[in-house]
Structure 1
Amino acid sequence: MRIYNFEGVTLLSVTKEDLAVSRDLLEFIDRSPSMFHTATTVRAHLEAAGYVYLPEGAAWKVVRGGRYLTVRNNSSVIAWKVGEKFDKADDFDGTAPYHFQIAVAHGDSPSYKVKAVPELKGEQDTLRLSVEAYGGMIDHTWLDRPLGLAGRVLVRCGSKIESRLITIERDIALIPSLAIHLDRKSGLAPELNRAVDLMPLFSVGELSEGAFRQMIAMEAGVDASNVLSFDLFLVDHTGGRIWGYKDEFVSAGHLDDLQSAYAALKAFLASDNDSDISVYACFDNEEVGSNTKQGAMSTFLRDTLVRINSALGLSEDDFHRALAASMLVSCDNAHALHPAHPEKYDSTNQCRLNGGIVIKEAARQSYCTDAVSRAVFEEILSARNLPYQVFANRSDMPGGSTLGNLSNIQVSMHGIDVGLPQLAMHSVFETTGSRDTALGIQALLAFYDADIVISEADSIKIS
């Protein structure tokens, strides 16, 4: 493997393996245009690997060595596997050796959601779609791009109501810019009103009101009268790509956070830890605060862990002792240094593309990383000679929050926030490094494979 030196930083060249992983990531993203599709894609990977679906509404049977998954709202997934050597007996300083090692990510991304009454009739027979922002996207990046549609449709089937996924890959809408001749200021910094400027054009006369419902009915395979409701989002179908003269970059939509969701899933599936209960979770609704029934702040993770504990014949006391010995890794992408704006970053705690997984920390606790979790994670990576980076916001620029501390509201354990470095977060088309996904998988696999048992915040055993 060739090594390059650039400004004192040792860089590894991109390998065929890195590119194969990047191409697989892009295929994963293509199959996941909405959070509902993401959950379906994740579930397909798990079931192909032998994981058994346990519906929340059914009785659960969980055994040593078993592999399982459950789903909430068809948009959040949790999977777990019980180690073959699982034993509830005491063997470490009076604490339970039984514990969880958990990685969580999210499967939603910023987009525009179509409203219940979807059509806006305008001047000269124009028809636009009535949408509102889901999450905090960079609005102007969505302009002048042919757009499709994806999500779920609830339909009447006899005496039942069924949920059906649809993906319209045809270009059926576009949000046109206002010409610079009509607004000279718009050339540099368009001031967009989401209720005025960001309603996508649907037709200029060929379609009339009611056409939207007819279209999604056809996609769902039912008569329009049987379409009851929908959760549908605009989708850019440009498609991801690997680029750069040395194939250094990967660009696609939804890298935040499908890149981390993919890396954590691949690590989970490849891991082999006989001594713990390994858990993978992909949550919905992170981009709008996570405080939904299927979000990271919901009871979904706690409900699942409690039911695992009960199905294994363990007590409530066993469960609480297990949590005290457990660790969670929250995986959500990080801001790589922007070449045009280094002044927006902390002078020392910054990360770069193709530099390894990023440990994120904030004094105001928007990230759950602390000295304990950081020491454990860094020790695991150092033992395998895996690269890692650190990120903190400039001290005068508070950043956003993510999954770690929100999950801990319901099920408290030691946790760390990590991510993969990227540029243009929340753009319709984001950029990462072509080595970053493979490096992320390696780091998270090291976490899953290490047997970590935490005794309070005083002693941590890693084997």
Structure 2
Amino acid sequence: MISAMLQYIQRSPDCFHAVEELRQRLLREGYTELRPGRWQLTAGGKYFTTKNGSSLMAFRIPQEAPAGFLLTASHSDSPCFRLRDHAELTGEYIRLSAERYGGMINDSWLDRPLSVAGRVLVRREGGLEARLVDLKRDVALIPRVAIHLNRETNNGVKYDPARDLVALYAAGTGSGSFYREVARTADCAPEDVVAGDLVLYNNQPGTVWGPEGEFVSAPRLDDLACVFACTEGFLTAQERDMVPVLCVFDNEEIGSETKQGAASVFLPETLAAISEALGLSAADHRALLADSMMLSCDNGHARHPNHPELADTNEAPVPNGGVVVKHSPRYATDGVSAAVFTELCRRTEVPVQHYANRPDQMGGATLGNIADTKLPIPTVDIGMAQLAMHSCFETMGSRDVETFVRAVRACYESSLRFTPEGVALR
């Protein structure tokens, strides 16, 4: 399973490729792609829809009348450098101007060969066509200043993004070579590339390491590891009377407040469209939501081997220790959602560990508490324990992926009924 995850990550250098990989897999699995409009759904049917080419929702209709929705939510984006539309900076070298996307660890990107991928809009007869491009080879690098020229480099460097984080692309004073390479990859003339959404990405393949292969390191583990695991759990789960929904959102790293983000109407409108296509009334739809639940899946911080003091004393997960349940006022987890998830894991012998910020630290937020403002259903924030989050090359436990898949599958195969007295599980 680790090999399959690393292959998915390698083929997903950006949010567009990450969703396109899922799209192609769903089509191979017999899912029908839905366009905006009135849907025709049938019992036993398998469907998916996308937004902006960078977010996706897939679902199945049970054979019997649905009793609720069971959702997982993960995100397709990762911290990176987004190239500007006019990226070439000419002079003694050709450099590429980019801006930081998300809360990246700046120096993890230095002295590391980078490639370029993303989406371009190409002028065609009658309109514009979106095409995905991936140069797939090392074409750029952000060089560090030698210690001989900056004797303070080991004493902490404050990077100026406009000067220190500009990628070297080519030697020479010519211009246009970068756009010619992009156009060649997009199979069009350079003048036909109207605009694009391109990123610099780490092209280094992931690796499994450690005396017993207990660790895996790769780019974009946050959050493509969860995207992969949620997809595996979704596709392999047995049918119940709930509607299983796989959600993959874009723009989590910048707050989710976009048309394809978790803060948009994409999720509530899709669920409402499902109910409408099944002939359910607004009251019926509200009844389904009352017995629904979401797993917000985004990796959590593992206790750092060199800095254990940064973790909470009692609630600090470790790699390969089990699925992480995340607790904080900025997470959506509450007593009900944590109890439901923990009990489902106990029944299927899936190990669980808990994460909380140290009391004097403010933690980050993720999809759950954003999405459930649009869709007020019980939500639990979970993930895999990870080191070096938002580095260009991240690390986690190699056994955690299979454990996470088992947890997701167990939730998709459950049936929930929320009552004033508690929760009925089966």
TM range (shorter): over 0.9
What is the match of residue 78 of structure 1?
57
Letter in 2 for 1:71: T
The residue correspondences of 1:9-408 to structure 2 (distance < 5 A) are 21-56=1-36, 58-86=37-65, 98-122=67-91, 125-205=92-172, 208-362=174-328, 364=329, 366-408=330-372
CA distance in 1, matches of 2:161, 2:343: 47
**Alpha-carbon displacement from aligned partner over 1:4-29 (angstroms, at most 9, x marks no partner):** xxxxxxxxxxxxxxxxx111110010
Contact persistence 1:135–1:287 (CA under 8 A): yes
Amino acid at match of 1:264: C
**Contact in 2 for aligned 1:273/1:450 (Cα 8 Å):** no
Residue 185 of structure 1 and its aligned partner are, at CA, apart by 1.3
| Letter of the structure 2 residue corresponding to residue 160 of structure 1 | G
Match in the other structure for 2:424? 461
Shift in Å at residue 49 of structure 1? 1.3
Q: Quick one: distance in 1 between partners of 2:288 and 2:35? A: 24
CA distance in 2, matches of 1:51, 1:411: 25
**TM-score, normalization: structure 1?**
0.90
Unaligned runs of 5+ in 2: none
CA contact (8 A) 2:78 2:220 kept: yes
Q: Which amino acid aligns with 2:95?
A: R
Contact 1:67–1:82 (CA<8 Å) still a contact in 2? yes
Q: Does structure 1 conserve the Cα–Cα contact (< 8 Å) formed by 2:45 and 2:60?
A: yes
Query: C-alpha separation between the residues in 1 aligned to 2:350 and 2:136?
Result: 39
SS of the aligned residue for 1:171 comes to coil
Paired residue secondary structure (1:64): coil
Residues 38, 273 of structure 2: 8 Å contact kept: no
Q: State whether residues 78 and 222 of structure 2, in contact with CA within 8 Å, keep that contact through their aligned partners in structure 1.
A: yes
3-state SS of 1:268 partner: helix
How far the C-alpha of 1:59 sits from its partner, in A, is 3.0
Amino acid at match of 1:453: R
Structure 1 unaligned segments of length 5 or more: list them.
1-20, 88-97
Amino acid at match of 1:113: R
Deviation at 1:220, TM superposition (A): 0.5
Question: Do 1:273 and 1:451's aligned partners in 2 also have CA atoms closer than 8 Å?
Answer: no
1-structure distance, mates of 2:419, 2:106: 47
* Conserved? CA contact 2:289–2:377, under 8 Å: yes
Q: How many residues align?
A: 426
SS of 2:336's partner is helix
SS at match of 2:259: coil
CA distance in structure 2 between the partners assigned to 1:265 and 1:237 by the alignment: 23
CA contact (8 A) 1:76 1:294 kept: yes
The corresponding residue for 1:412 is 376
Name the SS of the counterpart of 1:59 in structure 2.
Answer: coil
- Please, what is the CA RMSD of the aligned residues? 1.0
- Write the deviation string for residues 15-65 of structure 1: whole angstroms up to 9, x where unpaired: xxxxxx111110010111000000001112211111110012x43111111
Q: SS at 1:42's partner residue?
A: helix
Question: Take 2:185 and 2:271, find their aligned partners in 1: how far apart are those partners?
Answer: 38
Q: Name the structure 1 match of 2:386.
A: 422
Percent of aligned pairs with the same amino acid: 42
Quote the Cα distance in structure 2 between the aligned partners of 1:174 and 1:76.
29
Q: Is the 8 A contact 1:86 1:274 kept in 2?
A: no
Q: C-alpha deviations, 1:62-113, integer Å up to 9, x for none? A: 11111100000000000001111225xxxxxxxxxx2100001001100000
Task: Select the residue among 399, 402, 406 that pairs with 1:435.
Answer: 399
Return the letter of the residue paired with 2:19: A
